[in-house]
Structure 1
Amino acid sequence: MSHPDGVFIYIGTYPSEAEARADYGVVKELHSVGAVGTYDASVLTKDDAGKVHVDKDETATRHGAWGGAATGALVGLLFPPAVIGTAVVGAAVGGVGGHLWKGMSRSDVKEFGELIDEGQAALVVVGELKLAQALEKAELKASKHVAKELKVSPKDIDEAVRTAATEVA
Structure 2
Amino acid sequence: MSDAPVFIYIAAYDSEAAAREDYDVLLELHASGVVGTYDAAIVTKDGDGKVHVHKHEKPTQHGAWTGIGVGALVGILFPPSIIGTAIVGGAAGGVVGHLWHGMSRGDVKELGEALDAGEAALVVVGRDQLEETLDRELRRADKRLQKQIDADAKEFEKELDKAAAAG
Q: TM-score scaled by structure 1?
A: 0.88
Q: Residues 31-78 of structure 1, C-alpha deviation per residue, up to 9 Å, x if partnerless? A: 112222210001011111000100011x23564541111100000000
> Which residue is equivalent to 1:120?
119
Q: 1:92 to 1:41 in 2, by over 3 A?
A: same
Q: 1:100 to 1:141 in 2, by over 3 A?
A: same
Q: Which runs of 5+ in 1 are unaligned?
A: none
Q: 1:9 to 1:128 in 2, by over 3 A?
A: same
SS in 1 for 2:58: helix
Contact 2:71 2:90 in 1 (8 A): no
Q: Residues 112-152 of structure 1, C-alpha deviation per residue, up to 9 Å, x if partnerless? A: 11121120111100001243343244253210111111121
- How many residues are paired up? 166
> Which residue is equivalent to 1:22?
21
Greater share of helix residues, 1 or 2? 1
Q: Residues 94-128 of structure 1, C-alpha deviation per residue, up to 9 Å, x if partnerless? A: 32111111111001111111121120111100001
Contact 1:61 1:68 in 2 (8 A): no
> Which residue is equivalent to 2:58?
60
User: More displaced, 29-38 or 90-99?
Assistant: 90-99
Structure 1 position 14, deviation (Å):
0.4
Name the amino acid aligned to 1:82.
S
Q: TM-score scaled by structure 2?
A: 0.89
Following the alignment from structure 1 to structure 2, what is the Cα–Cα distance between the partners of residues 118 and 97? 23
Identity among equivalent pairs (%)? 51
SS in 2 for 1:146: strand
Q: RMSD in angstroms over aligned alpha carbons?
A: 2.1
For residues 36-75 of structure 1, what are the structure 2 equivalents within 5 Å? 36-57=35-56, 59-60=57-58, 63=61, 65=63, 66-75=65-74
Name the amino acid aligned to 1:45.
T
Q: 1:112 to 1:82 in 2, by over 3 A?
A: same
Contact 1:30 1:134 in 2 (8 A): no
